[in-house]
A and B are shown apart, each in its own frame.
Chain A
Amino acid sequence: MSALLDSFWALLALKLLVVALVVPGVSMVIIYAELKISAHMQSRVGPYFAGGRWGWAQPLADGLKFMQKEDLVPADADRPVYKVAPMIVLAGTMAVFVIVPFSPKLIVQDLDLGIFFALAAGSVGTIGVLMAGWSSANKYSLMGGLRAAAQLIAYELPLVLAVVGVVIQAGTMSMVGIVEAQAQTWFHVGDFGVSLPFALQGQIIGFGIFMTAALAELNRTPFDMPIAESELVMGYLTEYSGIRFTMFFLGEYAGMFAMSAIASTLFLGGYYFPGLDSEVFGPVILMGKVGLLVFLMIWIRWTFPRLREDQLQSLAWKWLVPLALLNIAVTATLKVVF
């Protein structure tokens, strides 16, 4: 067994397999959570019969239904671009899972530039969205793709800038390193000390900016202008069907998990919880924090209406970017002073 784990390629294949299984699995769970929570927030019951009890098999049934549908390509579409776009979106999201630390050891690869890699890989999906919008040969798709491009450019900045504050405070870009930095204790009274996540160490504004920008990156309400159903049919997804639509769908919900995992690692202490052994309980602790953030995202989606395009842009450029820059300046100053 250990010989197998020592071999680089065998280990890589194993890790790939785990990620390839975890991504759809996690997406299914989040989809089910979204179905149920949205239903109860509207005084409905949501899926009820699929799978016998509480409709737990509804996302599976939906997935099977999508897969057996015809994979349509419009006559005027740019075929190769149209076909590869959903793969790029899904691949970009899955690449982020590489640096999510579930425990000090349970991580696909702890890169020195971990968070940098995550933000870079997460942005690849934007290209996929733009490709989907452009290649569909449909005005709604094109409008959706352009809106997505404008929105993702605008919100990429506050997202990255919000992370910079954490990186300054932690002094490292490695995801494990950032968690370790949050595990260190403060306010020493003898042997007793309190370890605080970065959200409570002055990065609460950064956390707010990060979550807002993450919602926009994921095209979720109130920032779902690119797929605004009432105006653009389904935006860049309009022409997609069957397995390729499923890829976009899974990518969206896997992206929710990835963003929540990054946010909880950066701001909420990741797999660390005071008094619990990270090696053993790490994955459970991280999942708990991710669950909270995912619930927050679903909650926000089913509460707020969609922003107008100009409101969306002015929120990013007039509020989030200056606030994030101020956050960096203050964090850097305090880091140098203390």
Chain B
Amino acid sequence: MALDSTTRRVSPAIKPTGKGLLKGMWLTLRTLFIKPSTVHYPLEKEVLVPRARGVIALDIEACTVCMLCARECPDWCIYIEGHKELQPPAKEGGRPRSRATLDRFDIDYALCMYCGICVEVCPFDALFWSPEYEYSESSITSMLHDKERLEEWLETVPDPPALEA
């Protein structure tokens, strides 16, 4: 196909006015004299938003070992093991009830990408976001939090927002 003058795309001639250059210079100069937005972390701490995603807390009692969180986790960083326990029947002569008990619930925060899908997917509200973020370790294996440690985070979970009227 031949390109005639009507179909050819001609890039518009850029006129170097220098206006943009001066604008950029002015911006950097102005930024030089305003207060830096850096938070001097160990000395002062950031004010977090209330629902910040710092760490995931686990309510062991609420967990039913349904494995939904482990299966939905994109990083496969949740490890769950459990067994069934027979509980005495509620009424005399009834059938003993079986109850799933959690043996192991580990989240490997070295792998976790804080997507929150596990919290979303949990049908029994056993997982919560906590804004705590200071749990760095010097060894990567220590980033694996077991169920006791995950339950400790539960105290730091803020109250849910009030229901809308």
Of the listed stretches B24-32, B87-95, B99-107, name the one at the interface; the rest are far from the partner chain. Answer: B24-32
Q: Is B11 an interface residue (CB 8 A)?
A: no
Contacts of A299 in B (CB 8 A): 25, 28-29
Query: Complex formed: what's the CA distance from A303 to B32 in Å?
Result: 11
Of the listed stretches B33-41, B44-52, B55-63, B131-139, name the one at the interface; the rest are far from the partner chain. Answer: B33-41
Q: Is B13 an interface residue (CB 8 A)?
A: no
Closest 4 CB pairs of A and B: A41-B28, A303-B28, A45-B38, A303-B24
Chain B, interface size category, equals: 10 to 19
CB A293 to nearest CB in B, in angstroms, measures 15
On A, residues with C-beta under 8 Å from B are: 37, 39-45, 48, 299-300, 302-304
Given contacts A299-B25, A302-B28, A303-B24, contact A43 B40 (CB under 8 A): no
Q: Write the chain A residue with the least CB distance to B16.
A: A319
User: Is the beta-carbon distance between B36 and A39 smaller than 8 angstroms?
Assistant: yes
Query: Complex formed: what's the CA distance from A304 to B24 in Å?
Result: 7
User: Is the beta-carbon distance between B36 and A303 smaller than 8 angstroms?
Assistant: no
CB A302 to nearest CB in B, in angstroms, measures 6
Q: Is B21 an interface residue (CB 8 A)?
A: yes
Contacts of B27 in A (CB 8 A): 303
User: Is the beta-carbon distance between A40 and B31 smaller than 8 angstroms?
Assistant: yes
Interface of B is mostly: helix
Contacts of B34 in A (CB 8 A): 43
User: Is the beta-carbon distance between A40 and B36 smaller than 8 angstroms?
Assistant: yes
CB B25 to nearest CB in A, in angstroms, measures 5
Contacts of B24 in A (CB 8 A): 303-304
Query: Complex formed: what's the CA distance from A45 to B43 in Å?
Result: 14
User: Is the beta-carbon distance between B31 and A42 smaller than 8 angstroms?
Assistant: yes
User: Is the beta-carbon distance between A40 and B32 smaller than 8 angstroms?
Assistant: yes
The one of A37, A43, A48, A303 that contacts B25, using a Cβ cutoff of 8 Å = A303
User: Is the beta-carbon distance between B36 and A37 smaller than 8 angstroms?
Assistant: no
Q: Write the chain B residue with the least CB distance to A222.
A: B21
Listed A/B pairs (24) with beta-carbon separation below 8 Å: A37-B32, A39-B36, A40-B32, A40-B36, A41-B28, A41-B31, A41-B32, A42-B31, A43-B31, A43-B34, A43-B36, A44-B37, A44-B38, A45-B40, A48-B40, A299-B25, A299-B28, A299-B29, A300-B25, A303-B24, A303-B25, A303-B27, A304-B21, A304-B24
Contacts of B37 in A (CB 8 A): 43-44
Query: Complex formed: what's the CA distance from A290 to B93 in Å?
Result: 97
Contacts of B29 in A (CB 8 A): 41, 299
* A-B contacts besides A44-B37, A303-B24, 9 pairs, CB < 8 Å: A41-B31, A43-B34, A43-B36, A44-B38, A45-B36, A45-B38, A300-B25, A303-B27, A304-B21
Task: Determine which residue in B21, B24, B28 has the highest number of CB atoms from chain A within 10 A of its CB, and name it.
Answer: B28
User: Is the beta-carbon distance between B38 and A43 smaller than 8 angstroms?
Assistant: yes
Query: Complex formed: what's the CA distance from A39 to B33 in Å?
Result: 11
Contacts of B21 in A (CB 8 A): 304
CB A17 to nearest CB in B, in angstroms, measures 36
Query: Complex formed: what's the CA distance from A268 to B34 in Å?
Result: 30
Q: Give residues 130-162 of B contacting A (CB, 8 Å).
A: none
Contacts of B33 in A (CB 8 A): 40
